[in-house]
Amino acid sequence: MGRQPNKDNGMRCRCSMVTACLAAALTAVAAYTVAPQSAAAQAVERPRPQQWDRLVEGARFMDRILPMPDGRKGKHVWGTAEVAERFVDNGIEMPDTSFWGGNILKDGDGLYHMYVCGWPEDSPQGHMFWPNSTVYHAVSKRLHGPYTIRETVGKGHNPEAYRLADGRTVIYVIGGYYISDSLDGPWQYGQFEFDTRDRRVIEGLSNLTFAERGDGSRLMVCRGGGVWVSRDGLAPYRQITEERIYPPVDGEFEDPVVWRDSLQYHLIVNDWLGRIAYHQRSLDGVHWVTEQGEAYVPGVSVHKDGYVEQWFKYERPKVYQDDKGRVEQLNFAVIDTIKWNDLPNDRHSSKNICLPMNKGLLIEVLNREPIDETTDAIELLVKGEKGFNPARDLDIGSLRLGSYTAVNFGGGAKAVKTQRRGRDLVVTFDAHGSGIDREEFAPKLLGKTRKGGSVFGYAALPYVDYRPAVLSSRRPAYDADSGQITVGIENFGLSASKLSELTITTAGGKSFSAAVPPLEPYGKTEIRIACNEAVDLKGCTLSVTTAGRVSHRMKWE
């Protein structure tokens, strides 16, 4: 929502520190036209890979979206005929306010707090009044709503709220943030600082999304797909990647949402023009795999009786996680027509909807040795939970375990026997065909319950470090006076790094190498390499190899 211009050339960086400014960010796009446009202006049909036709049920992220809880249907409500029978008490909806964005936090008393933005429906520019939106704090006793406004926070757009380790609440908005000691304010406005670390900013700093890491720090992904890290969620965000992390396919990407569960990072990014979203996963937040199939498409809001709330656009997805980090609910900003055709005092508007999710199973592999093509059997512990007895509820013959590249297409290891372990169940699989190799960090399980429901999960591997080191370099420089190349290396991970090797290869093909000593989390070092002659480092490629794997690679133009 609200495409921001590329600020790479317009930013002023003082000592590589960039200050985001709310007024400038929003004013830059406030001149958008409000002239009616055709559907083709906001939608194209993206061809899907042919292999997606072979995906099994449960493979796609969108297969985890469950029917909406029953609710109240309104009479004579705004909207096209395709959404006339919607649940008006799902999420947040008001006849005189257009809502957008928003996510949910829960307090200690069980009350749910949604931080969402909106603007008057009768505003002079209709939906395109969004640069003047206001952030609202709304509450509900139920996760799916209805939410009612409790207070006005302040001006801002595309909010995302999160809690700091010290208990304070932060509400990010384009260009800045609001902060309070509680979920209820009072709110103080501030601006983040960003350290580019010698890198270009990928497509500007808007529509940021945040994931909490195990030590209370934050990983942030910006609209353009760059990854940044802050020690506490407020301290300067420092850029650690150089290329966008999104899938290498055609798409007008925006609306990233990132989160972390007990094993891995997840990211959903939306191609707003193609109206298709992708689901990605990562062990370290830097190197990502893209699962096959759509994360969501129009029409995912379905009632239990089969009725579909056919919203024209589903954007700004946000997740609500349970105490294990699993996604319990997915929120969307939705609109019933093309944004430019939502005019003041008409029958079009927007709201926030809440969709329940299949949270998945809690599973872990018991094999102590790394699994590869020589492994004969895989033992998987499936944990019992309230309302779920794996021995009673699972259709064992339907279970498939392995790499997502195999399991998503019906392959993977097959279950051969089971053994109860208290309320848990150990399932033994014939490992052949699992597709698991040394790069695997979270094998996928797909299957059915005895009643035909879908089950899925990502398994912990006992030999994988789920708090890995993350090495990232600064721009290398040649000093003519000393005859040395110098380059800074930092560890942005949550574990100490191992002894590594740095290699710099110039555009002309000359290579220089040096050892990188182990670094504690957030530790840094400066590597010096003596040279016999002057070195032109423009266009050089820098790589860091750890235990035989390239953990960091950067081309410095």
> Is 464 inside a domain boundary?
no
Which of 458, 480, 505 finishes a domain?
Answer: 458
> Is 1 inside a domain boundary?
no
CATH of the domain at 117: 2.115.10.20
- 134's CB contacts (< 8 A; 6+ apart) are 117, 118, 119, 152, 153, 154, 155, 156
Token digits of residue 205: 């700093």
Q: Are residues 152 and 256 in the same domain?
A: yes
Domain that residue 509 falls in: 471-556
Average pLDDT over residues 27-55: 67
> Is 425 inside a domain boundary?
yes
Distance CA 326, CA 338 (A): 33
Q: Are residues 416 and 477 in the same domain?
A: no
> Is 278 inside a domain boundary?
yes
Look at residue 12 in the predicted model and tell me its pLDDT. Answer: 34
How many distinct structural domains can be found in the chain?
Answer: 3
How many Cα atoms within 13 Å fall on the side-chain side of residue 133?
30
Q: Are residues 331 and 384 in the same domain?
A: no
Q: Is residue 202 very low, low, confident or very high in pLDDT (cuts 50, 70, 90)?
A: confident
Q: Are residues 368 and 271 in the same domain?
A: no
Q: Is residue 40 very low, low, confident or very high in pLDDT (cuts 50, 70, 90)?
A: low
Q: Are residues 398 and 498 in the same domain?
A: no
Q: Which tens digit of pLDDT belongs to each residue from 455-513?
A: 999 999 999 999 999 999 999 999 999 999 999 999 999 999 999 999 999 999 999 99
> Is 37 inside a domain boundary?
no
Report the DSSP beta bridge partners of residue 516: 500
Q: Is residue 7 very low, low, confident or very high in pLDDT (cuts 50, 70, 90)?
A: very low
- 548's CB contacts (< 8 A; 6+ apart) are none
pLDDT tops 50 at residue 18: no
Q: 3-class DSSP state for residue 131?
A: helix
Token digits of residue 28: 């830059």
pTM for this model (two decimals): 0.92
Q: Are residues 249 and 385 in the same domain?
A: no
CATH of the domain at 417: 2.60.40
Helices marked H in 354-474: 390-393, 404-407
Helix H or strand E encompassing 24: helix 22-27
Backbone angles phi, psi at 191, to 5 degrees: -130, 135
Q: Are residues 115 and 255 in the same domain?
A: yes
Q: Are residues 312 and 378 in the same domain?
A: no
Q: Is 91 exposed, middle or buried (0-12, 13-18, 19+ CB in 10 A)?
A: buried
CATH of the domain at 529: 2.60.40.10
CA 71, distance to chain mean position in Å, is 29
> Is 388 inside a domain boundary?
yes
Q: Are residues 166 and 67 in the same domain?
A: yes
Q: Are residues 182 and 326 in the same domain?
A: yes
Sign of CA dihedral 74, 77, 82, 87: negative
> Is 6 inside a domain boundary?
no
Average pLDDT over residues 400-429: 98
Q: Are residues 509 and 529 in the same domain?
A: yes
> Is 151 inside a domain boundary?
yes
pLDDT averaged over every residue in the chain: 92
- Contact assessment for residue 82 and residue 310, using Cβ atoms and an 8 Å cutoff: yes
Which of 356, 388, 406 finishes a domain?
Answer: 356
Q: Is residue 25 very low, low, confident or very high in pLDDT (cuts 50, 70, 90)?
A: very low
Which of 356, 389, 421 finishes a domain?
Answer: 356
Count of other CB atoms within 10 angstroms of residue 467: 14
Q: 3-class DSSP state for residue 379?
A: strand
- 306's CB contacts (< 8 A; 6+ apart) are none
Q: Are residues 330 and 375 in the same domain?
A: no
